[in-house]
Amino acid sequence: MRNVVLLNRISLDGMFASLNDKNFGMDWFVGDPEVEAYVHTLGDPGQPPADTLLMGRRTYVGFEAAWVPFLQNPSAPAPLKAIAEELTQMHKVVFTSSVKTSAWANTTLVHAPVADHVRRLKGQPGGTIMVMGSGTVVHALAAEGLIDQYIFIVTPVIAGGGKPQFPTMETQNLTLVGVRSFPSGNVVIHYRAGK
């Protein structure tokens, strides 16, 4: 059975994005290449690496606009181009009723209910299934107990508003896997679902 892993930046007050669509909700993110490298090392030993990325429409539109241009830009910084290539190689599953076509390689547009589709994906062969951003997708999966691991990059900011990661959820117990802090002020907290 494949694992579903949530990887999101959150503010100290639990927001995963601002309300600024022009900046894809990332106004207050504190970027740090050391953090990015570290989260790539997380996961279960013996499990295949992530090869599938789940997204909602807004996250997909933002990711496509942010990352695809790096693929064709010969002067793009190498670390950013590497991320763009990694995302392009992953199988991207986009839950949407309004997006009809995609020019981004390895993208599948899904109009079925999130939980039903992800249950099928978990039972198929493949690597870890990642979720980033995508508040409605995260909420649908968490409500059905379909997220196996939660990795939060806690950014050193109180956002004071925005899009909450879990606006309405029943209580769920998590088990701490690890915590690591960085000079940038970011703290990575890794949980496994259940006790």
Q: Are the C-beta atoms of residues 4 and 122 closer than 8 Å to each other?
A: yes
Handedness of CA 160, 165, 171, 177 (dihedral sign): negative
Kindly calculate the radius of gyration of the chain based on its CA atoms and give it in whole angstroms: 16
Where residue 25 falls among pLDDT bands split at 50, 70, 90?
Answer: low
pLDDT tens for each residue of 112-165? 899 999 999 999 999 999 999 888 999 999 999 999 999 999 999 998 888 888
Structural domains of the chain sorted by starting position, each given as residue range(s) with its CATH number in brackets: 4-43+76-193 (3.40.430.10)
Between 51 and 133, the more confident residue is: 51
Between 195 and 182, the more confident residue is: 182
What does the pLDDT read at residue 23? 63
Distance between CA atoms of residues 124 and 21, nearest Å: 34
pLDDT tens for each residue of 69-88? 888 888 988 888 888 899 99
pTM: 0.90
Where residue 67 falls among pLDDT bands split at 50, 70, 90?
Answer: confident
Residue with tokens 């059975």: 1
DSSP calls for 151-192:
EEEE-S---SSSEES-SS-----EEEEEEEE-TTS-EEEEEE
Look at residue 104 and tell me whether its pLDDT is greater than 70: yes
